[in-house]
Amino acid sequence: MQDHSFYEGLKKESLICAQCGYCRVECPVYKQIGWESSSPRAKMLLAGKIADGNQINEQEALRIFQCTMCGRCKEQCSTRIDTIKVWEDLRQEIAEQGKSPGNLRILTQTIEENGNITGDEQANRELWIDALDDDKYRQRIGSRGKVLYFTGCSGALYPQVNSIPRSFVQILETAEEDYTLLGADESCCGFPLIAAGQPDLARDLMQRNLDKIKQLGVETIVTTCPSCYHSWRDTYPEFLGADLPYKIMHASQLINEYIKQDRLPLKELDEVVTYHDPCDLGRNSGVYDEPRFVIQSIPGVDFREMDRSRENAACCGGGGNLEAVDDGLVAKIAQQRLEEITGTGAKTVISSCQQCKRTLQVNARKNKIRVRVMDLTEFVLKSIKT
């Protein structure tokens, strides 16, 4: 399997698509909807239609946006189509035709006006720090530091997952890291805008974030959000046309380094756990090993792999802005993943993503599934504090 993208534009890729259907076998959306129209190969036919200059209708637009952008289709494609790129370009074309689903138009406007996905004041990005009840964390905002922790909108603004940045900064402190935070100066990484078909607006946010970092002496940018990680690592250089002067890391990678350097005092946890690969960290960024190394470094942990893991991992349903388009579909996809999780016998599922945690947790509660959902940072902190 070649790693590089062959992408040659919507028209060409739609012709290259063999309609073999390899893409749809594991597609989480097709598996739930069941009609051929929901399969990636049907979306490729719509791509051809749009590339030929045709207007599309709302029903067709909805099908395009009913996608978690999990990349499973790309992994399976028999003609090596970079389907993620196709979906991004398709969404842009639809946005230009003014046919995006209403909620996505609202999301776009929200980010454009507020710099974040929730519509909160930017100052609210710092609220999660208050619960730590120690001023040393707040003092990191805007300070100079070698490592910038880019919190991301979800971690900073969704109370359900505020515990992730809170856990991570405590890990950074334990490891005696020289780190900094952007606080209210941080803007959305741009990823949700790309998924909404608004790459130009995403580019503006990327530039805004880079401008804020310049004076902080940063050498490494670390994120707890896989989508932020993927954006910073791959999309920023692509969109801005230059390599960034920073090393980009996901929290799982940095924590793994700390463990190897013996900077974290991990204590025994007697728990049966499994790991859910976030699509943007695993399949779309190739980070599979580090989260597993971290989990298995904690003494006493009984780690159980799911049948579908690593590059074959199933999506939780929370990606690609699907929540804004069809939350009922998200729930069905999450339900299926939760069944796989409980099938391992694990009492705790660990992920490395705010959105995966939110999606799995909400749907586990809704369906009374007895499984605890934790982020890797939370699990590591628990081990440190035991």
Among 5, 15, 54, 305, contact with another protein (rule: CB under 8 A): 15
Among 6, 239, 293, 303, contact with another protein (rule: CB under 8 A): 6
Smallest separation, CB 4 to another protein (Å): 8
For 74-132, give the DSSP string. HHH-TT---HHHHHHHHHHHHHHTT-S-HHHHHHHHHHHHHSSSS---GGGGGHHHHTT
With respect to another protein, which residue has the nearer C-beta, 80 or 247? 80
Residues 188, 206: Cα–Cα separation, whole Å:
8
Return phi, psi of residue 266, to 5°.
-80, 135
Q: Point out which span in 14-22, 91-99, 145-153, 320-328 binds another protein (CB under 8 A).
A: 14-22
Using rule CB under 8 A, residue 9 touches another protein:
no
With respect to another protein, which residue has the nearer C-beta, 12 or 203? 12
Contact status, residue 180 vs residue 144, Cβ threshold 8 Å: yes
Using rule CB under 8 A, residue 332 touches another protein:
no
With respect to another protein, which residue has the nearer C-beta, 101 or 190? 101
With respect to another protein, which residue has the nearer C-beta, 65 or 379? 65
Query: CB neighbours (10 Å) of residue 183?
Result: 18
Here the tokens at position 239 are: 């969109």
Among 22, 239, 293, 303, contact with another protein (rule: CB under 8 A): 22
Among 5, 9, 19, 102, contact with another protein (rule: CB under 8 A): 19
With respect to another protein, which residue has the nearer C-beta, 78 or 139? 78
Q: b/e map of 197-231 (b: 16 or more CB within 10 Å)? A: bbbebbbebbeebeebbeebebebbbbbbbbbbbb
Q: Point out which span in 19-27, 135-143, 228-236, 349-357 binds another protein (CB under 8 A).
A: 19-27
Q: b/e map of 116-134 (b: 16 or more CB within 10 Å)? A: bbbebebeebbebbeeeee
Query: CB neighbours (10 Å) of residue 185?
Result: 18
Residues ≥6 apart with Cβ < 8 Å to 147: 172, 177, 178, 179, 180, 218, 219, 220, 221, 222, 254
Using rule CB under 8 A, residue 3 touches another protein:
no
Among 5, 9, 36, 366, contact with another protein (rule: CB under 8 A): 36
Which residues inside 300-329 make contact with another protein, applying CB under 8 A?
Answer: 307
Beta strands 372-375 and 348-351 are parallel
Binding mask 249-288 for another protein (x = CB under 8 A): ----------------------------------------
- Beta-strand ranges (E) seen in 307-371 are 348-351
Q: 147 has which bridge partners?
A: 179, 220
Here the tokens at position 282 are: 């695993």
Residues 17, 42: Cα–Cα separation, whole Å:
10
Return phi, psi of residue 322, to 5°.
-60, -30
Q: Point out which span in 8-16, 65-73, 166-174, 243-251 binds another protein (CB under 8 A).
A: 8-16
Among 35, 113, 200, 370, contact with another protein (rule: CB under 8 A): 35
Binding mask 51-90 for another protein (x = CB under 8 A): --------xx---------------x-xxx----------
Smallest separation, CB 16 to another protein (Å): 5
Size of the site for another protein (CB under 8 A): 27
Using rule CB under 8 A, residue 18 touches another protein:
yes
Q: How far is CA 71 from the centre of its chain?
A: 12
Here the tokens at position 384 are: 């440190």
Q: Point out which span in 28-36, 151-159, 225-233, 369-377 binds another protein (CB under 8 A).
A: 28-36
Where do contacts with another protein occur on this chain (CB under 8 A)? 2, 4, 6, 12, 15-16, 18-22, 24-25, 34-37, 39, 42, 45, 59-60, 76, 78-80, 307
